[in-house]
């Protein structure tokens, strides 16, 4: 079976599930979840840019995908 990639949100959910299994008595703080989400932001950006490049092959490629991300979601 092929190993499929996961979205950044799927990674966050998996991380939370794993934390709860490893430490069932510990309450996961909102701050810890936010820290993990921030950690995954760059991965999410790469996923969005890849999707734009894949779906819009008539665009200019990586630079346009980066511009798209920054325009729609950017910092």
Position 1 scores a pLDDT of: 47
> Domain range spanning residue 19?
8-72
In a domain, 15, yes or no: yes
69 touches 49 (CB < 8 A): yes
Position 48 scores a pLDDT of: 84
In a domain, 34, yes or no: yes
Q: Count the domains in the chain.
A: 1
Q: Name the burial class of residue 49, with classes exposed (0-12), middle (13-18) and buried (19+) by CB atoms within 10 angstroms of its CB.
A: buried
In a domain, 20, yes or no: yes
In a domain, 22, yes or no: yes
Report the alpha-carbon distance of residue 28 to residue 36 in Å, rounded: 11
| Number of helical (H) and strand (E) elements in the chain, helices listed first | 4, 0
In a domain, 2, yes or no: no
Q: What is the pLDDT along the chain (75 residues), one digit of tens a residue?
A: 456 777 788 888 888 888 888 988 888 788 888 898 888 888 888 888 887 776 776 666 666 777 877 887 765
65 touches 26 (CB < 8 A): no
In a domain, 49, yes or no: yes
In a domain, 43, yes or no: yes
In a domain, 13, yes or no: yes
């Amino acid at each position: 079976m092929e190993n499929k990639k996961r979205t950044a949100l799927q990674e966050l959910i998996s991380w939370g599930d794993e934390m709860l299994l490893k430490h069932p008595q510990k309450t996961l703080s909102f701050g810890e979840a936010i820290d993990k989400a921030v950690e995954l932001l760059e991965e999410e950006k790469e996923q969005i840019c890849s999707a734009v490049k894949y779906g819009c092959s008539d665009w200019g490629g990586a630079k346009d995908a980066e511009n798209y991300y920054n325009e729609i979601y950017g910092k």
